[in-house]
Structure 1
Amino acid sequence: MKTLSSFCTSLVMLMLCTLAVHAQTVIPLWPKGAPGFENRRNEPEQAKDYWVKNIHNPSLTVYAPPADKANGAAVIICPGGGHRLLVYNSEGVAPAKFYNDLGVTVFILKYRLGRDSLSPYKVDIHPKQDAYRAMRLVRSRAAEFNIDTNRIGMMGFSAGGEVVDMVAFSGWKGDPAAADPIDRVSAKPNFIVQVYPGPGYVPERIPSDSPIAFLVAANDDACCSLPIIQLLQRYREARVPVEMHMYAKGDHAFNMGMTRRLRSINNWPQRLADWLTDSNILQPFHKKVLH
């Protein structure tokens, strides 16, 4: 009996250790809850299969790369889902693992959903508020995560691409008089990756100091092929570096590939890896040492 008890104890400890290894750090965007909705921060999220919704306490989930691969780059991922839910696994966890393999630290943003059932949030207000805060929070804690503050980007899928468009081209500057030191920090992404971004919030023009961009969609995507064409034109007009990949077939929501019987779609992430390399985003990070 003693042997069985010892075995069970060891098994439980092994399971706990395994869970600990795979556990991810979750950082609420605001410690006391989102401004104006603090009383809802403890309401549980709903999750099933591939999605998460009922988000009242917006947060960042951290996926850190192996220490021997980490290069100081970081990206905040905004999954899609029509502002009704977040396609969390395919458009959050899967790209996080892709970036981790490249040495990039990932923060998956759970933003508030304006079209969720009985949602008190507005699409054009609260996701934008969450995304600005996420950028400022990551940049303010860069030293903690060994991140280069000049290589923090944003990636958006579908509706998450709309969230990226909301914050990538204006409203970057922090408020030097803000009581919260996080709100004093710049929210400007250094690069953006837009994967079949939604049609809303593409600006009529972008400033000449906009973040460099990688754009990808399929031509037969009735919803979201036009936005990357519009973004490409705006980038060309502003003379800001941009790369676009428009695939003949793939429709919508091809995620990180490997789910369609199309070689081009299945291999599109390699084009992103090439662009990240050519844009010097994956270069090793050498922290400054003060003497």
Structure 2
Amino acid sequence: MKKLVFFLCIVCMTTTVEAQEFIPLWKKGKMPNSRGLNLPDSIANERIYRVGTPGLYLFETSRAENKGAAVIIVPGGGYARLAYQISGFQLAKWFNTMGITAFVLQHRLPQSPDVKTCYKAPLQDIQRAVRYIRAHADRWGIEPQKIGVMGSSAGAHLSACAATLSDDWSQAGDTLDRISFRPDFAILVSPVVSMDEIAHKGSRQNLLGKYDTPELREKFSCDKQVSTTTPPMFIVHAMNDPAVSCLNSLRLFDALKRNDIKGSSLHIFPAGKHSIALRNNPGSTDEWTNLAEQWLIETGFIR
């Protein structure tokens, strides 16, 4: 039955980027790390290649079905593009079937000509997104302590950074600065985690650019940033992933275990490559969505 619901959600989804409700993250002239260029968004083939206005696409549940939780979905794309449909809107519709309010993040890409310091921009946008949703939680019937992040591939890396890094790079001089930017949980699919020898080199190059130093490689290796304040994570990976080694997920879970992050869960499936999706996954990999929903219930993020 759940598989049928997922299928219907995807088949019936005709929403375009232009039609979906969009919430800008920054007031005009207040976006940090910006050169002030007026850049239009560049969209083609269900990919966003340039982001002029960072923001959130809202996928709201009905009041009757609302379970009080929210998730920010970060599309993948190697920090070069955002695959907003397959790793964004489709996932948002799935979360809605669980009564979870979903937001798809359109974050700045590091190599945008408007960005001053490439590696800061995506993190600034996701930190601001968490703050914004927490500040306006009542508007959507969200409990402020039940706001998570979810991403695939490079989107999972940014989600993990939001969950592990303590640097506050999203100060904007307004009331949101006083609100916590740390998410309460993270769901990571085929995540880029490390910036060292097992890194996805394209993601590392696009994120760090000319600032590719040993110090920043360590800072953006999420397994090395896990602390006792890191929220619980649900991690999914395929053992035969040719693009992002499952060693990334193993390292991250090892760090979660060493820091006693209770509730964390790791699932390494034998197949799926770098294409784990909502449905039609090979063999047991197709159970990851059911496992994720059960995990959200077990950890108390949905009731």
Look up the match of 2:239: 219
Which residue type is aligned with residue 231 of structure 1? L
The answer on whether the counterparts of 1:173 and 1:186 sit within 8 Å (CA) in structure 2 is: no
2:274 is the alignment partner of 1:252: yes
For 2:56 and 2:163, the matched residues in 1 are separated by 18
Look up the match of 2:11: none
The answer on whether the counterparts of 2:107 and 2:126 sit within 8 Å (CA) in structure 1 is: yes
SS of 1:216 mapped into structure 2: strand
Look up the match of 2:189: 195
For 2:116 and 2:103, the matched residues in 1 are separated by 22
The answer on whether the counterparts of 1:32 and 1:38 sit within 8 Å (CA) in structure 2 is: no
Identity across the alignment (%) = 29
Look up the match of 1:74: 70
2:182 is the alignment partner of 1:185: no
Look up the match of 1:274: 294
Structure 1 residue 123, shift from structure 2 partner:
4.5
Give 1:1-80 correspondences, 5 Å limit.
23-32=19-28, 34-37=31-34, 39-41=36-38, 43-80=39-76
For 1:174 and 1:127, the matched residues in 2 are separated by 10
SS of 1:267 mapped into structure 2: helix
Which residue type is aligned with residue 179 of structure 2? V
Taking structure 1 as reference, are residues 272 and 232 closer, same or farther at Cα in structure 2, changes over 3 Å only?
same
Look up the match of 2:146: 151
Specify every segment of 5 or more residues in structure 1 that has no aligned partner in the other structure, as ranges: 1-17, 284-291
For 1:224 and 1:39, the matched residues in 2 are separated by 38
The answer on whether the counterparts of 1:172 and 1:187 sit within 8 Å (CA) in structure 2 is: no
Look up the match of 2:210: none
Taking structure 1 as reference, are residues 130 and 84 closer, same or farther at Cα in structure 2, changes over 3 Å only?
same
Which residue type is aligned with residue 247 of structure 1? F
Measured on the aligned residues, the alpha-carbon RMSD in Å equals 2.5
Look up the match of 2:7: none
Which residue type is aligned with residue 255 of structure 2? R
Look up the match of 2:10: none
Structure 1 residue 233, shift from structure 2 partner:
0.2
For 1:19 and 1:190, the matched residues in 2 are separated by 28
| Per-residue deviation, residues 138-175 of structure 1 (Å, max 9, x unmatched) | 11111111110010001111111111222212327799
Look up the match of 1:128: 123
> What is the total number of aligned residue pairs between the two structures?
260
Taking structure 1 as reference, are residues 19 and 282 closer, same or farther at Cα in structure 2, changes over 3 Å only?
closer
For 2:111 and 2:90, the matched residues in 1 are separated by 24
Structure 1 residue 37, shift from structure 2 partner:
2.6
The answer on whether the counterparts of 1:29 and 1:137 sit within 8 Å (CA) in structure 2 is: yes
Which residue type is aligned with residue 51 of structure 2? I
SS of 1:167 mapped into structure 2: helix
For 2:229 and 2:33, the matched residues in 1 are separated by 33
Look up the match of 2:252: 231
For 2:249 and 2:120, the matched residues in 1 are separated by 23
The answer on whether the counterparts of 2:236 and 2:268 sit within 8 Å (CA) in structure 1 is: yes
SS of 1:39 mapped into structure 2: coil
| Per-residue deviation, residues 199-246 of structure 1 (Å, max 9, x unmatched) | 343232522121011000100113141111011100110111210110
For 1:136 and 1:191, the matched residues in 2 are separated by 14
2:285 is the alignment partner of 1:265: yes
Structure 1 residue 32, shift from structure 2 partner:
0.8
Larger CA deviation: 128-137 vs 47-56: 47-56
Specify every segment of 5 or more residues in structure 2 that has no aligned partner in the other structure, as ranges: 1-13, 196-219
For 1:61 and 1:67, the matched residues in 2 are separated by 18
Structure 1 residue 188, shift from structure 2 partner:
1.1
Taking structure 1 as reference, are residues 38 and 219 closer, same or farther at Cα in structure 2, changes over 3 Å only?
same
Q: Which protein is bigger by CA-based radius of gyration?
A: 1
